[in-house]
Amino acid sequence: MAFTGQGRLDIEVHLLQDDPLSSLRGLLADIRKAGGMPDVDPGLWGYARKRIRQDAVSRTPFRHTIWAEVLTAGRCLTGKARKTHMAMPNVWGSPVIKAGQDVTLTIDGNDYACTLGGDSFRVPMEDLAKRFVVDAGEACAETGSWEVRHEGRLAAFPDIAHALRSRAVRLGISGWLDWDYQLDDLIETSMGRIGAVISWAMGLGKGRLAAALCAPCVRMDVASRKENV
């Protein structure tokens, strides 16, 4: 049989494709066209399906919640330039703001608008502190709210999450991970094949979570057995 490279014979290569099973079937079809008679071990298909489920979970991000600031439109701030820089770095001939120069910034949506030398430009909120010294009391947002930007693994795989949560309750782990985010994060962390970094602030339960991860509560095999029933 003639082929280019041995990558097509590597199961990991097929698992990286959008449709791994179709990719594997395509390989078998090519072997048959070349005159071969492939005899596939049934265990290969079972392994591939299990890995597809596991990899789908591992590729799903954790739940992501942010504090979204709400700025008061039209409010003016005065910023003192930290260093000499161009008002619009990506625009040729942009006016130069000198170090120590005061600039009036007007809140406009999620950015700051400014007029300098007859030219208008915008300063993204995330760049404000890098470019200007602004009174903290003036620069802070007046209101805000928590927003979920990604629902995470618990929402994407509710059956797996339910199986792991039920086991954690039976083992009593939910009794000492009693803040809702602690148990939720334990389950999300346990659902993937790849590790994670838990960076909660001091006093929020990192030690307890680490102890729970060492318990025989969780890991993907719990959910895999449930799915295979």
Q: Which residues contact 85 (CB under 8 A, 6 or more apart)?
A: 96, 97, 131
Q: What residues does each domain of the chain span?
A: 7-57, 68-146, 152-228
Q: How confident is the model at residue 84 (pLDDT cuts 50, 70, 90)?
A: very high
Position 218 confidence tier, pLDDT thresholds 50, 70, 90? low
pLDDT band at 126 (very low <50, low <70, confident <90, very high): confident
Beta bridge partners of 107: 112
- Residue 206 to residue 216: CA distance in whole angstroms: 18
Tokens representing 134?
A: 């602004």
Q: What is the mean pLDDT of residues 164-192?
A: 88
- The percent helix, strand, coil of the chain (3-state, each to 5) is 45, 20, 35
Residue 155 DSSP SS3: helix
- Check whether 122 has a pLDDT greater than 90: no
CA–CA dist 82, 74 (Å, integer):
24
pLDDT higher for 137 or 183? 183
pLDDT tops 80 at residue 39:
yes
Span 90-102, pLDDT tens digits: 888 888 999 999 9
* Residues paired with 77 in a beta bridge: 105
Tell me the CA distances in angstroms from 129 to 109, 115, 126, one per residue in order: 17, 18, 7
Q: Which of 1-10, 11-20, 53-62 has the lowest mean pLDDT?
A: 1-10
Q: In CATH, which superfamily holds the domain spanning 68-146?
A: SH3 Domains (2.30.30.40)
> What average pLDDT does the structure give for the chain?
82
CA distance 58 to 56: 6
pLDDT of residue 119: 80
